[in-house]
Structure 1
């Protein structure tokens, strides 16, 4: 796993030392250096690094203030503070820093920090879909539906319905509960009241810049699509 890093420190010698030590870790690729938080922001926004090795006491915005600012990003980089000051450890914990390295840098402590970083950035394990099916209770029987057979799921008032080519079935599960159960299958929320099996989608119909609907296989119903979901839906559907 290649980890893209930026070193931020107003002391050139400290940046050089850290750059040299990180060269012993082939998984870490240093893609930029900055002498200040302001200069670092330009690199962070354009190159989107995985981790920052961040000094604290710098001219202008300090490292903790930069880390707090980055928390507002959709996907902020991980932070490893690299500083001569011990007094900011509590604040480092509040911004969920991976580690807190003190100057002069110790090779073993740096190795431990890199190890923690790899654990932080390790992708979450995705469980494969289970062999289970959705159970639908009728008056005198339980019907089991294969998730892949479903066309879509929708909410109407307080009731939730599962729609397949064989019929429409009420369920006691909420749409949110079904979204969780079906998350490992090919279902996509297209509207606050609809989940759609994207393998069954045949057409995306645009009536205007604000009105979109989906047509699914073997169904005459046009399913509303919220404008906020259109871009992500197209990225999911198209090669």
Structure 2
């Protein structure tokens, strides 16, 4: 590969992190861009550093690796996931989260090499189209395609198998999924705040505590408040605040 693969290593035990980082550092194609000791720290770093691959421990306190994986897959550009654990019993669950591989502790260097090769092959076959930034978002409305400036979009809301796109002046309905729209808008400051909502961070005006660790979000020029799930609150605050 011409560019190195950006990797984030996540494990609550320092020795395990250091061992895996050392082993991965032996590969010229790998660049370790960070390490995290918890699911929460992993999400914040993933939002800031945009790793292409996350090596993720499963057994972690507070937020497990599986819970973390679910949130990572909701990012605008979800990283490839490799689960690293001492317990083979999690394998079936792990692959439900679209993991590219599952490695066991203590690490077998030959098997780890196979994992790296699998990652390289996967990233090499990614088409240029998937990395192309959009200038306009095309929405089909009554047989016509309307092109929207992403900077004018306030938020996206998924409801009843369709997504509403809310702009400063109007709203539109599209059959594209929320995840598809996130990918298309990946070069703009959009963030998922709830399983049904993606917001443009440039238009956020207020974050208000609500109930049981969740928050409500206010957008400039809109009266309604949008929900922020408690799993996304810390990440949102880390990004918004100085």
Of residues 21, 32, 35, the one that matches 2:34 is: 32
Gaps of 5+ in 1: 128-186, 197-208, 212-225
Moved more, 112-121 or 46-55: 112-121
Aligned partner of 1:66 in structure 2 is 68
CA distance in 2, matches of 1:67, 1:85: 17
Structure 2 match to 1:114: 116
Q: Does 1:103 align with 2:87?
A: no
Equivalent residue of 1:101, what SS? strand
Partners of 2:70 and 2:97 within 8 A in 1: yes
1:83 paired with 2:85, answer yes
Larger relative contact order (C-alpha < 8 A, sep ≥ 6)?
A: 2
Q: In the aligned structure 2, how far is the partner of 1:81 from the partner of 1:227?
A: 37
The residue correspondences of 1:1-239 to structure 2 (distance < 5 A) are 1=1, 2-125=4-127, 189=138, 191-192=140-141, 193-194=143-144, 210=169
Partner SS state of residue 74, structure 1: coil
Deviation at residue 3 of structure 1 after TM alignment: 0.8
- Cα deviation 1:66-99 (Å, max 9, x = unaligned): 1112222232111101111111000011001111
User: Larger radius of gyration, structure 1 or 2?
Assistant: 1
Deviations 1:1-55 (A, max 9, x none): 3210100001111111111111111111110001111111110111111011111
Q: CA RMSD in A?
A: 3.3
- Distance in 2 (CA, whole Å) between partners of 1:113 and 1:59 is 26
Describe the SS at the equivalent of 2:74.
coil
User: Can you give the 5+ residue segments of structure 2 that lack an aligned partner in the other structure?
Assistant: 130-135, 147-167, 175-180, 189-242
TM-score, with structure 1 as normaliser: 0.54
- Structure 1 Cα separation of the partners of residues 20 and 87 of structure 2: 16
Q: 1:188 to 1:114 in 2, by over 3 A?
A: same
Does the 8 Å contact 1:210/1:227 carry over to 2?
Answer: no
Question: Hey, what's the Cα distance between the residues in 2 that align with 1:124 and 1:26?
Answer: 20
Count of aligned pairs between the two proteins: 150
Local SS of the residue matching 2:62 = coil
SS of the residue aligned with 1:20?
helix
Any idea what SS the aligned residue of 1:87 has? Answer: helix
SS of corresponding position for 2:103: strand
Q: Indicate how the Cα distance of structure 1 residues 6 and 227 shifts in structure 2: closer, same or farther if over 3 A, else same.
A: same
Distance across 1 between alignment mates of 2:57 and 2:20: 11
For residues 112 and 194 of structure 1, the distance between their equivalents in structure 2, rounded to whole angstroms, comes to 48
Cα deviation for residue 189 of structure 1 reads 4.0
What is the TM-score when the length of structure 2 is the normalising length? 0.54
1:88 partner SS: helix
Residues 66 and 126 from structure 1, CA distance in 2 versus in 1: closer, same or farther, beyond 3 angstroms? closer
